[in-house]
Amino acid sequence: MDIINELMSYRERDIPYSRVLSSMCTVPHPVAVKAHEIFIETNLGDPGIFVGTIELEKKTIEMIGELLNNRNASGYICSGGTEANIQGIRAARNLKKVKDPNIVIPKSAHFSFEKIGDILGVEIRRAALNKDYTVSISDVDRLVDENTVALVGIAGTTELGQVDNIKELGKIAEENGVFLHVDAAFGGLVLPFLSRHIPFDFEIRGVSSITVDPHKMGMATIPAGGILFRDERFLRALEVETPYLTSKYQYTLTGTRPGTGVASTYAVLKHLGYDGMKEMVDGCIRNTRTLVEEMEVLGFEPVVEPLMNVVSFHAKNPEEIKEELYRRKWVISTIRNPKAIRMVIMPHVTEEVIGSFISDFRKIIS
């Protein structure tokens, strides 16, 4: 057992999630861990062997599709939001063939779009933001031209949890004959469970693809990202031939890929059901409110009133606060524009965690 002890000694140096208020990942649900174990050796890169696992993936996509108002959505469980965004844009680029393709994304988009520009050779045009940090629709309109293959809207921005006006983006997409990819890596498993209806998914006609990551608010084991397309045509646009495998074509970005994400995603959604997921999301929203109230008492105002469980607070010296907290073994993050400290209130950030965080926070600002 020497090796195990050695491994443990490394693992023990990791910071436990109970001290982490900066992450969009969380402790997986116990049923996800169980599912992960059962599927540990599966490889969806060769679906002719893992016949049951690929069937389970179809059911999982159907379940998520239903949540996102499209039972007929097609897609797959991938390594995360980065891969999902790459594949969404790659499908759009392959379907609308132009010589110098560009995409129009909000300035608030996740840094995975930097990689997309580089890998796919599409020009990235960044649209300005409104005062509330949602994308300016008029600026998107200004940036679209005949070489635009896709627009991107964000449903749950990484820094503020803000949701772009996807309805209006959908109209521009339809008017210009371009695709609309919605990055709901985080919000995709939050928004369907909020009491307030915020349209962002396939219910909007112009939406062609959605990124939604079970390894964020789906409490699945890492890696479990998701890309869903309105219909199968998009998957066909991603296919390459795989002559010697059990399947003739492959639409995924990676070859060998785990079935663990599929199983753990399915297990959590099935086990908790709609009501259980709503309860989990409600809890995170409640805790976010508690945190905001406590921070306001200490003189820190949120940059925008949080829609979901991501919140940033204006701060004069965000980096100093972050470092001081890190010394006390708390992890938060910072944003640069505007200068603010950022927190994500995942299921592991309980009321108790918030209480002890605030008590330490008070000490460092006094």
Residues that bind ligand 0PR (CB under 6 A): 23-25, 80-82, 85, 110, 112, 154, 158, 183, 185-186, 213, 225
Name which of 61 and 332 has its Cβ closer to ligand 0PR.
332
CB neighbours of 128 closer than 8 A, spacing ≥ 6? 107, 135, 136, 139
For the bound state, the minimum distance from the C-beta of residue 32 to ligand 0PR, rounded and expressed in Å, comes to: 16
Q: Given the structure tokens 């105002």, which residue do they identify?
A: 301
Name which of 179 and 186 has its Cβ closer to ligand 0PR.
186
First to last CA, the chain: 48
CA 129 from centre of chain: 20
Q: How far is CA 166 from CA 171, 220, 332, in A?
A: 9, 27, 29
For the bound state, the minimum distance from the C-beta of residue 49 to ligand 0PR, rounded and expressed in Å, comes to: 27
For the bound state, the minimum distance from the C-beta of residue 318 to ligand 0PR, rounded and expressed in Å, comes to: 15
Contact 266, 91 (CB under 8 A): no
Sheet arrangement for strand 333-335 = 310-314, 340-344, 333-335
For the bound state, the minimum distance from the C-beta of residue 306 to ligand 0PR, rounded and expressed in Å, comes to: 15
Nearest one of 142, 143, 105 to 124, comparing CA atoms = 105
For Cα atoms 115, 117, 118, give the angle at the middle one, nearest 5 degrees. 65
H/E stretch holding 165: none
For the bound state, the minimum distance from the C-beta of residue 232 to ligand 0PR, rounded and expressed in Å, comes to: 24
For the bound state, the minimum distance from the C-beta of residue 48 to ligand 0PR, rounded and expressed in Å, comes to: 28
For the bound state, the minimum distance from the C-beta of residue 242 to ligand 0PR, rounded and expressed in Å, comes to: 24
Name which of 222 and 354 has its Cβ closer to ligand 0PR.
222
Name which of 201 and 213 has its Cβ closer to ligand 0PR.
213
For the bound state, the minimum distance from the C-beta of residue 25 to ligand 0PR, rounded and expressed in Å, comes to: 4
Name which of 174 and 319 has its Cβ closer to ligand 0PR.
319
Distance CA 121, CA 142 (A): 22
Name which of 26 and 53 has its Cβ closer to ligand 0PR.
26
Name which of 71 and 312 has its Cβ closer to ligand 0PR.
312
Which alpha helices (DSSP H) does the chain contain, by range? 2-11, 30-38, 51-67, 81-95, 112-120, 137-143, 166-176, 233-236, 260-297, 318-327, 351-365
Contact 312, 332 (CB under 8 A): no
Take residue 210 and report the two structure tokens written for it: 């959605």
Contact 263, 212 (CB under 8 A): no
Contact 178, 150 (CB under 8 A): yes
Q: What is the DSSP letter of 118?
A: H
CB neighbours of 111 closer than 8 A, spacing ≥ 6? none
Q: Is 66 helix (H, G, I), strand (E, B) or coil?
A: helix
For the bound state, the minimum distance from the C-beta of residue 154 to ligand 0PR, rounded and expressed in Å, comes to: 6
Name which of 130 and 242 has its Cβ closer to ligand 0PR.
130
For the bound state, the minimum distance from the C-beta of residue 217 to ligand 0PR, rounded and expressed in Å, comes to: 11
Question: 135 forms bridges with which residues in the sheet?
Answer: 129
Burial class (CB in 10 A: 0-12, 13-18, 19+), 66: middle
